[in-house]
Chains A and B, each alone.
Chain A
Amino acid sequence: MVENARSINIAASILLAIGILYIVGPLYLTLSTASQSYEYMLRNGLAWVPGTELFANMGKVIHDTRIPVQMLNSMIVAFSNALATCALSFLSAYAIVYFRIRWAGVAFALILATIMLPLDIRVITTYQVASNIFSPLNGVLDFTGLNSLIEMVFGAPVQLELSVLDTHFGLIAPLVAHGTGTFLFRQFFLTLPKDLFKAARMDGAGPIRFLIDILLPLARPSFASLFVLTFLSGWTQYLWPLVGASTPDMQTAVVGLARLVPDADGQVPDFPMIMAGAVLVSLVPLTMIALLQRFLVQGLVLSEK
């Protein structure tokens, strides 16, 4: 279209420049402060120019804190969360879309409902369940009176106990109990042509073969999007790893970073060291965004539809 849109283009450019500054500004100040010494920060406050102490500060974080172990924990949690979510969501969406089951709608509604109440809201009682994952079973046995029956026969009621707190499984499992992945794969399956299924049936493909040889290769982009999305969400979790792991060696890097800031008032905290920690902790997810941005954006758009 040929028309004079200069004023609006200039306004848009200025707006975008401000937006970029708002996003990059804090990141730049983090990096520049992380590269200055504690004394410099005490004298000058915020560092506007980068210094030479970045690796010294990072060294402090690596040697004096538990951040390296915690980054490994974050890696395990984020990676397993992404992998488990991809696998389980793919299977459940497959069952819902491609099988003639009467309760498919109910199952999908039950899975989808998890999107409405995030983990942060139900953290109190999720913690109680994680402290003994058999407590629901015990409750059912008590409630139905089966336990008094068992007590009559065997002399003692069944009281199973297994805590998953302070384990990697306990950190990961509540994150996987989420419906976004199933939703995303279901949407994808519904966009595939029906003839694909008929042709595969005609060639004699059973459910397993259809799943592995046809759906799996087709779903590769969806897998990538969901993987990036859930990896980032696993890495950036805060409240659940905070309560779900009580020992420093089981906590995730984000929780460890927040713990670097001393609670007590008084002397100014070693902000350059803390900022170096923030840089370290954000390095993995930021690299991922830089490399796999296409899939991230696609995943965000898909999870909305």
Chain B
Amino acid sequence: MSSESSLFSHRWLPALLLAPLMLLIVLFFYVPVFQAFYWSFFLEQPFGGGSEFVGLQNFQRVLSDPEFWGATGRTVIFMLTASSLAVIVPLMLAVAADRKIGMSYPARNILVWPKGIAGASIGVVFAFIFNPFVGLMAPLNSLFPGLWNPGIDGTDAFVTLVAAHVWSGIPFNFVILLAGLRSIPPTMYQAAAMDGAGPWRRIFDVQLPLIMPQLFLTFVLEFTESITSVFALIDTITGGGPGGSTTLLVYKIYVDGFRGFDLSGASTQTAILMVFVLLLAACQFFFLGRRINYER
């Protein structure tokens, strides 16, 4: 047998094996993605009332809407604050759990638990814990009235969202970063120790530089994640309020489309959000490309 035949040759079998998944992906991924861009050039009537080509009018309407820019600005702020925290907190925990200490075993187990709790479930729980009248801050609130009320103060509501997002994001980032740390060969530490680097110094001079690939990766994945998965948290904790101060783009699209029946507006915003996310993904590939240089 020649080395050329290291693969099967078959006329229709591979197509048949690929067909079921491909069919689902075309139907529920490519058609919706295409339709979002397509509809952004049409004025769609709800309930199948026909459509009319309007060129760039939808984009003009959306881009001149201050609410759209407000939601976009809040999305970017959330992306930067929540995802930075959702990487830095697990990073510190992973560096700590990488040491051979008594706490590291239970920590490795417990820090994965949030993976099993739905965003909406923890949203319901956080809405209760941060409730101004019966929650954690209630005793402080009775001492200093008006200190904490996510129902009125937009910043308080935003902080609650960030806290819940970081909570849910810990498992994935922790596991990835810990795996990166554990793959650093012990000789690296020994060499650094020979050169006189103490354990604190080695964190910054050996560990952090060597897990840069994982760190970049978690950051970029976390950017996309924070944009989309925040929907469940907003819907259960703040409902977009107070006064729209936690209406992020993904929530605004849902409200416009499913409550306001503005299909064209929602599709146009979907298209814009997709382009934004794809640009982020392009950054991801850029970093993945850089990753090869770090390979040990």
Contacts and interface: CB of A to CB of B under 8 A. Distances in A.
B258 to A, nearest CB: 6
B113 interface: yes
B106 to A, nearest CB: 7
A236 interface: yes
Main secondary structure of the interface of A (DSSP, over half): helix
Main secondary structure of the interface of B (DSSP, over half): helix
Interface in B1-52: 1, 5-10, 13-15, 17-18, 20-22, 24-33, 35-36, 39
Interface stretch (A53-61, A149-157, A212-220, A270-278): A270-278
Contacts of B101: 9, 12-13, 16
A98 interface: yes
Given A282-B117, A296-B115, A238 B9 contact: no
Contacts of B22: 92, 107, 110-111
Nearest to B33: A122
27 contacts: A1-B189, A8-B200, A16-B93, A20-B107, A101-B15, A110-B25, A110-B30, A114-B25, A117-B33, A120-B229, A121-B250, A125-B32, A125-B33, A128-B32, A129-B31, A129-B35, A174-B24, A174-B28, A177-B24, A210-B8, A236-B116, A238-B118, A258-B232, A282-B116, A282-B118, A286-B113, A300-B176
Interface of A: 1, 3, 5, 7-9, 11-13, 15-17, 19-20, 22-24, 26-27, 29-30, 33, 41-42, 45-46, 88-89, 91-92, 94-96, 98-101, 104, 107, 110-111, 113-114, 116-118, 120-130, 133, 136, 173-174, 176-179, 182, 194, 197-198, 201-202, 207, 210, 232, 235-239, 242-243, 254-255, 257-258, 260-261, 263, 265, 268, 271, 274-275, 278, 281-282, 285-286, 288-289, 293, 296-297, 300-301, 304
A42 B131 CA distance: 12
Contacts of A176: 21, 24
Contact of B254 (A7, A111, A128, A239): A239
Given A116-B277, A126-B32, A239-B231, A261 B236 contact: yes
B120 A257 contact: yes
Contacts of B270: 121-122, 124-125
Interface stretch (B57-65, B66-74, B76-84, B166-174): B166-174
B296 interface: no
Contacts of B172: 300
Interface in B165-193: 167, 170-172, 175-176, 179, 189-190, 193
Interface residues of B, number: 108
B167 A177 contact: no
Given A117-B33, A202-B1, A271-B128, 7 more contacts: A111-B22, A123-B253, A124-B254, A176-B21, A238-B118, A286-B113, A304-B176
A53 to B, nearest CB: 16
A242 B179 CA distance: 35
B232 to A, nearest CB: 4
B176 A173 contact: no
A1 B281 CA distance: 42
B95 interface: yes
A100 B8 CA distance: 6
A235 B220 CA distance: 25
Contact of B128 (A88, A123, A274): A274
Given A23-B167, A117-B274, A198 B124 contact: no
Interface string B271-296: 00110011001000000000000000
Interface string B96-124: 11010111101101111111111111111
B136 interface: yes
B211 interface: no
A99 B13 contact: yes
Given A46-B129, A255-B120, A300-B176, A99 B228 contact: no
A51 to B, nearest CB: 15
Given A117-B277, A128-B35, A258-B123, A281 B138 contact: no
B281 A116 contact: yes
A98 B7 contact: yes
